[in-house]
Structure 1
Amino acid sequence: MEWIWDGGRVCLDFVNTLRDRKQEPRETLAEPADLERWLHEGGLIAEGAGEADLARVRRLRETIDRCVRAVAGGELPAAADLALVNEAAADAPRPAVQAVVDEGRLVASAPPRTADDVAGALGLIAQDAVELMLAAEARRVRICGSGTCGLRYVDRSPAGNRRWCSMARCGNRTKVRVHAERARGR
C-alpha cells in the first residue's frame, strides 16, 4: 500500500487512510499488518496490532474526522466524539521535557513521540487531533476539491486557497479533465 502523507498533521493523515470518501470509500487499513505498516511509516512505531484493534482504529479515525470537521466549520464537536478522542489521547506516552541549549538559549525540547503499542500510537494521533482542534490552524482544514477524493488537509498556502490534497495527484487530474471537456466542447 502506498500511503498518502499530504494532510499536514498526523491526525489528518490517519483520517486519510479511508480513501475516496466522496464516492465509494476504500479502506487501506484492511488487516492488522496494514495498521502496523502505517504506524511504522508514520513514525509512531507500534507493533502487535491484531484484528480487535481494527474496529477501534476505524472508530477513532471517523470520530477524529467528525471532530476536526466540526471545529473547522466553526462548530463544537459532539460531546461523545470529544470524549472518545480525549480518552484515546490519555493513552499517549508522555515524553519527559528536557532542557537543551539552542543558539545560546536554554529551551525546552521533548524527545521524539513514539509508542510501544497500538493504544499508545492511537493516543499520539488523538493527542495531535486535540492539539489541532485547539489551534487556529483548525480553521484551515480543507477537503480535497476533487469530485472523487475527499482527503483532508491543512491549507498552509499564503492566500488560504489551496483546492486539492495534492497538486501532483488530484490537482493535475482535475485540470486535465476540465481541459479535455473544454476541448470536446469546441
Structure 2
Amino acid sequence: MNVGEGETVLLDLLNTTPVVDDRPTDVLTGEWLRSHGASGRRLADVRRLRDDLQRVVRGGDPAVVLTQYLDGVTQTPAIVDGAVEWRLDADWAARVVLAWGELQASMPGRLRPCANGECHLFLLDRSRAGTARWCSMEVCGNRMKARRHYGRAKG
C-alpha cells in the first residue's frame, strides 16, 4: 500500500459506519476487506482498528491508543539502482495507522468528522482554505444549511 492508497483505505475504513435511513450501519464485511487489501485479516480486528481510529480522529481518545498497531514495524535501507531506498516491513493495520500519521504530518487537521452531528462519516479536506465541513455538500451540507435557514426564518 503506497501513500495515496493508504489515504484512500484509511478514509474508506473510517467511513464504514454510515447512517442509513436514520440508523447507524456497519458496512465492514469480508468483501470490503478483500477489496481493500486486507484479505486474511479478522473482521473483529479490523473493526477494533476502525473504532480506535474513529475515536482518535473525533478527539475522543489520544493518538497513543494507536501504538498497539505499530508493534513490529521496521524500516530497512537497501541500495536499489545505485540509490538508497527504504523498505517498510509492516502489516496491513500498521500501514493504515502510518497513513493516518502521514496525513497528520502533511495535512494537519484536514482529516475530520463531518460537521453534521447526525452523520458518522469523515472527510479529508483538500480545499485550498481548509474550511470544508461536510462529508458531502450535496447531502450533509445542504441539509445543515436548510436547517439553519429554517431556524432563522422560524425564529
Whole-angstrom distance in 1 between the partners of 2:146 and 2:80: 50
Of residues 99, 102, 108, the one that matches 1:131 is: 102
Q: Any residues of structure 2 matched to 1:75-90 within 5 Å, and which?
A: 77-78=63-64, 81-87=65-71, 90=73
Q: Could you tell me whether the CA contact under 8 Å between 1:68 and 1:129 is conserved in 2? A: no
What is aligned with 2:39? 47
Residues 56-81 of structure 1: per-residue CA shift (max 9 Å, x gap): 111111222333444xx9x9523xx1
1:121 and 2:92 aligned = yes
Count of residues in correspondence between the two structures: 144
1:151 and 2:112 aligned = no
What is aligned with 1:66? 55
Whole-angstrom distance in 1 between the partners of 2:96 and 2:23: 25
Whole-angstrom distance in 2 between the partners of 1:182 and 1:63: 35
What is aligned with 2:15? 16
- Gaps of at least 5 residues in structure 1 are 1-7, 100-105, 111-118
Residues 125-153 of structure 1: per-residue CA shift (max 9 Å, x gap): 233123233x1413222221113103222
Aligned sequence identity (%): 36
Residues 74-120 of structure 1: per-residue CA shift (max 9 Å, x gap): x9523xx1322313x839xx9x9966xxxxxx9x7x9xxxxxxxx94
Q: Could you tell me whether the CA contact under 8 Å between 1:36 and 1:48 is conserved in 2? A: no
Provide the TM-score with structure 1 as the length reference.
0.57
Whole-angstrom distance in 2 between the partners of 1:123 and 1:146: 30
SS in 2 for 1:146: coil
| Higher RCO (CA 8 Å, separation ≥ 6 residues) | 1
| Deviating more after overlay: 150-159 vs 168-177 | 168-177
Opposite residue 86 of structure 1, the aligned amino acid is L
SS in 2 for 1:139: coil
Whole-angstrom distance in 2 between the partners of 1:147 and 1:76: 21
Distance 1:17 1:158, change over 3 A: same
Provide the TM-score with structure 2 as the length reference.
0.65
- Gaps of at least 5 residues in structure 2 are 1-6
Opposite residue 154 of structure 2, the aligned amino acid is G
- Cα drift, residue 183 of structure 1: 9.2
Q: CA RMSD in A?
A: 4.0
Residues 36-60 of structure 1: per-residue CA shift (max 9 Å, x gap): 33541x4x3x4345xxx12211111
